[in-house]
Copies of this chain bind each other. A is one copy, B any other.
Amino acid sequence: MNSFETHLQLFNSHLENYKTDVNLRSPRELYEPEHYILSLGGKRLRPLLALISCDLFGKDPSSALNSALCVELFHNFSLIHDDILDEAPLRRNKPTVHTKWNTNIAILSGDVMLVKAFEVLKNYEAKEFAQLFSIFSKTSIEVCEGQQLDMNFENENSITANDYIQMITKKTAVLLGCSLQMGAINAGASSLDQEHIYEFGKHLGIAFQLLDDTLDAYSTDEKSFGKQIGGDIIANKKTFLVLKALEVSNAEQVKKLNELMSKKKGDADKKIPSVLAIFNELGVKALCEAEADKHTKIAIDHLLKVNADRTKLKVLENFSLALLNRNI
């Protein structure tokens, strides 16, 4: 992971220590799922952002290790519970916790991970702890709200593209902002710098999710994308592409799209190209990419307002662009 390889190694080593401790705890039914999900891998993007941010503001990134662990634990708690909600059988090509064990264990082990996410912050002294806690608890609540909004969207017919942006902001983007802000707090950054780095992460997260939506529909390389291409279309997900399509289409196109999207589990071979044909007629891919670009620009604008070493800022800018272009 280019220049941040050492940050990643630093975090992975901290995570391994934590996992060793998890392995010692009982009852095992409660802690094995935690160890399992933390062993499934992933980019470790959120902890990485915490360390990068701490480093950016001139402090040894190891100062942010427990903030990094906190956001990674929270992220994994949310995966366990979200997978129950989504009835997902697989996570990173392995059985989800509720599939491997059962729903009860998945609920309870998720609960413990949520508490542990808070608890690791206790390693900081009282004042720093209180600051970290404030942004983290606020963010945790927003993520739950985002998840609820996502569930609501399934059964609501009047969702707009703007509602969708609000939802992904809470469900996905704020945790990236939070991770960066926590690293900034560990480095003793000013409130203004904390705000800029938070907004940078938040808008980067929105852009990332929007590009993820276009890749879900348009990627030609399932392996590098890591998910089933067309999965959102098959699942009738009201992504930005769909909602924008409904906004800019004529009555006939609206009818056709709603018809396609009312099919429970249609024939993917027919449904995907039919939906894509409408997307292409309406040019919604470009509209989605333009929206992502807008948020990328807002993100970079905030980043450039941060009072920190220019070289480090440039490295982070390049890192974030590489992330959006899936070169990481």
Instruction: Quickly give the copy total for this chain.
Output: 2
- In the complex, whether A196 has a CB less than 8 A from a CB of chain B is no
Asked whether, in the complex, the Cβ of B114 is within 8 Å of the Cβ of A115, the reply is yes
Cβ proximity bits A108-150 to B, threshold 8 Å, 1 near / 0 not: 1011101110110010001101100110011011001101110
- In the complex, whether A81 has a CB less than 8 A from a CB of chain B is yes
Interface residues of A in 125-181 (CB under 8 A from B): 126-127, 129-130, 133-134, 137-138, 140-141, 144-145, 147-149, 151-152
- In the complex, whether A247 has a CB less than 8 A from a CB of chain B is no
Interface residues of A in 63-104 (CB under 8 A from B): 81, 84-85, 103-104
- Select from chain B the residue with minimum beta-carbon distance to A29: B148
Contacts of A85 in B (CB 8 A): 104, 107-108
Cβ proximity bits A5-36 to B, threshold 8 Å, 1 near / 0 not: 00000000000000000000011011000000
| Interchain nearest-CB distance for A118 vs B (Å) | 6
Please measure, in the bound complex, the distance between the C-alpha atom of A119 and the C-alpha atom of B142, giving whole angstroms: 13
Asked whether, in the complex, the Cβ of B81 is within 8 Å of the Cβ of A151, the reply is no
- Given the known A-B contacts A122-B137, A130-B130, A137-B122, are A145 and B107 also in contact in the complex, defined by CB atoms under 8 Å? no
Asked whether, in the complex, the Cβ of B141 is within 8 Å of the Cβ of A104, the reply is no
In this complex, the member of A103, A108, A116 whose beta carbon has the largest number of chain B beta carbons within 10 angstroms is A108
- Given the known A-B contacts A137-B122, A141-B116, are A111 and B81 also in contact in the complex, defined by CB atoms under 8 Å? yes
Contacts of A26 in B (CB 8 A): 145
Contacts of A137 in B (CB 8 A): 115, 118-119, 122
Asked whether, in the complex, the Cβ of A149 is within 8 Å of the Cβ of B27, the reply is yes
- Select from chain B the residue with minimum beta-carbon distance to A170: B27
- Taking residues whose C-beta sits less than 8 angstroms from the other chain, chain A's interface range is 35 or more
Please measure, in the bound complex, the distance between the C-alpha atom of A130 and the C-alpha atom of B140, giving whole angstroms: 19
- Given the known A-B contacts A114-B114, A119-B141, are A152 and B108 also in contact in the complex, defined by CB atoms under 8 Å? no
Asked whether, in the complex, the Cβ of B144 is within 8 Å of the Cβ of A104, the reply is no
Please measure, in the bound complex, the distance between the C-alpha atom of A112 and the C-alpha atom of B119, giving whole angstroms: 17
Please measure, in the bound complex, the distance between the C-alpha atom of A126 and the C-alpha atom of B84, giving whole angstroms: 36
- Given the known A-B contacts A81-B107, A107-B84, are A112 and B127 also in contact in the complex, defined by CB atoms under 8 Å? no
Asked whether, in the complex, the Cβ of B122 is within 8 Å of the Cβ of A134, the reply is yes
| Interchain nearest-CB distance for A154 vs B (Å) | 11
Asked whether, in the complex, the Cβ of A151 is within 8 Å of the Cβ of B119, the reply is no
- Select from chain B the residue with minimum beta-carbon distance to A26: B145
Asked whether, in the complex, the Cβ of A108 is within 8 Å of the Cβ of B27, the reply is no
| Interchain nearest-CB distance for A96 vs B (Å) | 14
Contacts of A127 in B (CB 8 A): 126
Please measure, in the bound complex, the distance between the C-alpha atom of A301 and the C-alpha atom of B112, giving whole angstroms: 33
Contacts of A105 in B (CB 8 A): 148, 151
What are the 4 A-B residue pairs with the smallest beta carbon separation, nearest first? Answer: A126-B130, A30-B148, A126-B126, A119-B137
**A111-B114, A112-B144 are known contacts; what are 7 more A-B pairs with Cβ within 8 Å?**
A30-B145, A84-B104, A107-B107, A110-B111, A115-B140, A115-B141, A129-B129
Can you sample 7 A-B contacts with CB below 8 Å?
A: A108-B144, A111-B111, A118-B137, A119-B141, A122-B133, A129-B133, A133-B133
